[in-house]
A and B are shown apart, each in its own frame.
Chain A
């Protein structure tokens, strides 16, 4: 059973209220930080913890913080990315809804470390009811002296506000988020300059995911070294995984990084196996953007190693035979699911969410969607499969922001691993309308070492 650093108290009745949260040890990290630590001490602990960005990119948080420019007289900001929109991901909503004060506590400590006196939580507009939960908690925090002027007599002034988006996946990209927070269209900015130098209102800004900011609380409470004891190698600490799809127990799980994928899917403490006694066909382990893995690459890597829930193990084999931990949006597909339909569904998503600013993504995502629609609906041609491959290759790496890559990767991986299923859709246009291709026949993966 994994440890719980974030969700330990999630099931306590009333933990969303200040009194219960405080009684259960809440705001200790703020007391500790303000009384006995300097901003640099906190940065040092975060560095020692090995914490990496939990939104998807996995960039070391301590390093990101250390890039923050600190020119004299210019205010700095911490912005919490609560725009959770990656299909398959719903962990941040769970955390904010259950324990809103944990995020607020993390925002205070992190802002203190970064020297920010005014920070924002940018939450997706569809989570408006969560916004209200957060605002209620923020008010309680103000009323109890954890926010506002001279917090707990420390001399540290800090204001926190939450502000909504209005329906745009792209605003999960940090520069698009900043644009949106400024009241503009969510068009990503050209980088450089990076937000650490010119972010919100052209001021130095750090943008961190909800879970990342929450993880700073146990890191400050127990020390970075303690946090780093959990996990393997450069994947330290715990991670919230959103589990969905054809499993017995979908939901949010806090796992120790390093847990085996097999245990996560089949273990009774986690997903509890595939629903209805079916077989596993495929898995998208890190949100819709990351490459889909066929069943024979889910629990074992191509090298025959156990696949683990770590940044490194999930990407072992690169895009040829691996995937990514991403946001931890873990989607499981059973033998009845159609990969072509799923790929079309994702392509439709990325087309819908492209901001339209740069041409490869604006035009390419729509084209892929249309070609996939034809393939799925019995109107595909053999050459469409190669065409799709070519279009995705023209988008990947050539766009302003990673949405282009995120649109290209699922298409590439589906063709790479399930080409036969695409071809079957072309060869059997009417049959493919009636039934699904089913489980790909047991295929021995060939490697040079095998």
Chain B
């Protein structure tokens, strides 16, 4: 029997019943599979995130049971609440696909496309997005925006040239740590993430900005250029930690822990953030209790090496780029 408090929404013809206040994107994630719009800036656990990248735009073909009028503009699914009886088109709408193609092209015009030398390659959301929704050729023939690489603190490298200004790291630092020392500077296409003056981000949880970054703008200096992610073997592991849950993923090469990250779900989101001790200073396998191989659900090249027999289709993107 249907729960009276639930409301019904239909996305690409698939219906689901969700709690009032749920966003279209979260409703789509409850359905799963193809109907889930891509999201580059939204991060469910970060208050205020979303609405900026515009990759999750969808078409509302029916507003609700009470007011069935369609919405005139495409809406960001991450920040639009569902109404009872709402009907949404994502992949079934040419208008959505066209707009998304445009957004991808615009996100890429100033992106360096340096995937072959980028640590994020293989687990980069922009790479995935471009592969699924973009076109192979850019029409942009101007000089791309460039910034100098900077160290923000002992462990983190900021490569602003790759940044897509999702603001996730700013929200993370704001909400997870006590003192905010980095933010968004300047404006328009000159806007950048930074500390304005070279400032060390020393907070215990600041390492999480690496995990929330959808691209290779914030990378782990203790892992930089150590290995391509697809040559490493992710293992779920935990340790007793006074500061955090200690639930992590160890990225192993043989017996060596090359990198430690928090655990991400299939949409790339961390549910339990980890502290810097676990992330940067616990690279000795004896410090951990290994639970077993991490299940990589995402159709990522990470899974290509160890966990899937499918042809790793994303590797072709590197050639195209």
**Genuine A/B complex:** yes
Q: Given A362-B189, A398-B102, A398-B103, answer yes or no on A370-B142 (Cβ-Cβ < 8 Å).
A: yes
Residues of B within 8 A of A354 (CB): 187-189
Tell me the complex Cα distance, A353–B191, Å.
12
Residues of A within 8 A of B184 (CB): 185, 356
Instruction: Answer yes or no: A367 CB below 8 A from chain B CBs.
Output: yes
Tell me the complex Cα distance, A261–B74, Å.
35
Per the 8 Å Cβ criterion, residues 103-121 of A in contact with B are none
Q: A194 to nearest B CB, angstroms?
A: 14
Q: Mark B286-318, 1 if CB is under 8 A from A, else 0.
A: 000000000000000000000000000000000
Instruction: Answer yes or no: A397 CB below 8 A from chain B CBs.
Output: yes
Q: B73 to nearest A CB, angstroms?
A: 5
Instruction: Answer yes or no: B216 CB below 8 A from chain A CBs.
Output: no
A394 with B188: CB separation less than 8 A: no
Per the 8 Å Cβ criterion, residues 11-61 of B in contact with A are 50-55, 57
Tell me the complex Cα distance, A355–B51, Å.
14
Contact of A356 among B76, B105, B165 (CB under 8 A): B165
Tell me the complex Cα distance, A211–B138, Å.
46
Tell me the complex Cα distance, A360–B52, Å.
9
Residues of A within 8 A of B139 (CB): 387
Q: Mark B166-195, 1 if CB is under 8 A from A, else 0.
A: 010000000000000000101111110000
Residues of B within 8 A of A357 (CB): 52, 165, 167
B51 with A358: CB separation less than 8 A: yes
Residues of A within 8 A of B54 (CB): 358-360, 398-399
Instruction: Answer yes or no: B110 CB below 8 A from chain A CBs.
Output: yes
Chain B minimum-CB-distance residue to A373: B142
Tell me the complex Cα distance, A363–B51, Å.
16
Contact of B165 among A359, A397, A398 (CB under 8 A): A359
Chain A minimum-CB-distance residue to B111: A363
Instruction: Answer yes or no: B267 CB below 8 A from chain A CBs.
Output: no
Residues of A within 8 A of B188 (CB): 351-356, 362, 365-366
Residues of A within 8 A of B140 (CB): 367
Chain A minimum-CB-distance residue to B109: A363
Instruction: Answer yes or no: A100 CB below 8 A from chain B CBs.
Output: no
Q: Given A190-B51, A352-B188, answer yes or no on A359-B106 (Cβ-Cβ < 8 Å).
A: yes
Instruction: Answer yes or no: B124 CB below 8 A from chain A CBs.
Output: no
Instruction: Answer yes or no: A162 CB below 8 A from chain B CBs.
Output: no
A360 with B74: CB separation less than 8 A: no
Q: B246 to nearest A CB, angstroms?
A: 35
Q: Given A185-B184, A185-B187, answer yes or no on A364-B79 (Cβ-Cβ < 8 Å).
A: no
Tell me the complex Cα distance, A354–B191, Å.
10
Per the 8 Å Cβ criterion, residues 356-382 of A in contact with B are 356-360, 362-367, 370
B52 with A363: CB separation less than 8 A: no
Contact of A190 among B50, B102, B186 (CB under 8 A): B50
Contact of B110 among A352, A353, A363, A387 (CB under 8 A): A363
Instruction: Answer yes or no: A400 CB below 8 A from chain B CBs.
Output: yes
Q: Mark A403-428, 1 if CB is under 8 A from B, else 0.
A: 00000000000000000000000000
Tell me the complex Cα distance, A9–B57, Å.
51
Residues of B within 8 A of A363 (CB): 106-107, 109-110, 189
Q: B105 to nearest A CB, angstroms?
A: 7
Instruction: Answer yes or no: B164 CB below 8 A from chain A CBs.
Output: yes
B99 with A394: CB separation less than 8 A: yes
Chain A contact residues: over half helix, strand or loop, or mixed?
Answer: helix
Q: Mark B129-146, 1 if CB is under 8 A from A, else 0.
A: 000000000011010000
Chain B minimum-CB-distance residue to A400: B51
Tell me the complex Cα distance, A359–B242, Å.
40
Q: A219 to nearest B CB, angstroms?
A: 31
Residues of A within 8 A of B73 (CB): 397-398
Tell me the complex Cα distance, A364–B104, Å.
11
Q: Given A190-B51, A366-B189, A398-B54, answer yes or no on A360-B102 (Cβ-Cβ < 8 Å).
A: yes
Tell me the complex Cα distance, A354–B99, Å.
19
Q: B55 to nearest A CB, angstroms?
A: 8
A359 with B190: CB separation less than 8 A: no
B53 with A359: CB separation less than 8 A: yes
Residues of A within 8 A of B109 (CB): 363, 367
Q: Given A351-B188, A367-B109, answer yes or no on A394-B102 (Cβ-Cβ < 8 Å).
A: yes
Tell me the complex Cα distance, A398–B74, Å.
7
Q: Chain B CB within 10 Å — which of A351, A356, A363, A367 has the most?
A: A363
A356 with B53: CB separation less than 8 A: no
Q: Mark B249-271, 1 if CB is under 8 A from A, else 0.
A: 00000000000000000000000
Tell me the complex Cα distance, A190–B99, Å.
19
A360 with B103: CB separation less than 8 A: yes
B103 with A190: CB separation less than 8 A: no
Per the 8 Å Cβ criterion, residues 68-118 of B in contact with A are 73-74, 76, 79, 99, 102-103, 105-107, 109-110
Tell me the complex Cα distance, A363–B187, Å.
12
Chain A minimum-CB-distance residue to B53: A359
Q: Given A360-B103, A370-B142, A397-B73, answer yes or no on A355-B187 (Cβ-Cβ < 8 Å).
A: yes
Chain B minimum-CB-distance residue to A386: B139
A356 with B99: CB separation less than 8 A: no
Q: B77 to nearest A CB, angstroms?
A: 12
Residues of B within 8 A of A365 (CB): 188-189
Tell me the complex Cα distance, A390–B102, Å.
9
A356 with B190: CB separation less than 8 A: yes
Q: A353 to nearest B CB, angstroms?
A: 7
Residues of A within 8 A of B110 (CB): 363
Tell me the complex Cα distance, A190–B165, Å.
16
Q: B70 to nearest A CB, angstroms?
A: 14
Having A358-B54, A362-B189, one finds 16 other A-B pairs with CB under 8 Å, namely A190-B50, A356-B186, A356-B187, A356-B188, A356-B191, A358-B51, A359-B55, A359-B106, A359-B107, A359-B164, A360-B103, A362-B191, A367-B140, A370-B142, A387-B139, A394-B102
**Shortest Cβ-Cβ A-B pairs, 3 listed:** A394-B102, A356-B191, A363-B106
A–B pairs, 25, beta carbons within 8 Å: A185-B184, A190-B76, A351-B189, A353-B188, A354-B189, A355-B187, A355-B188, A356-B187, A357-B167, A358-B51, A359-B53, A359-B55, A359-B164, A359-B165, A362-B165, A362-B189, A363-B189, A365-B189, A370-B142, A393-B102, A394-B102, A398-B57, A398-B73, A400-B51, A400-B52
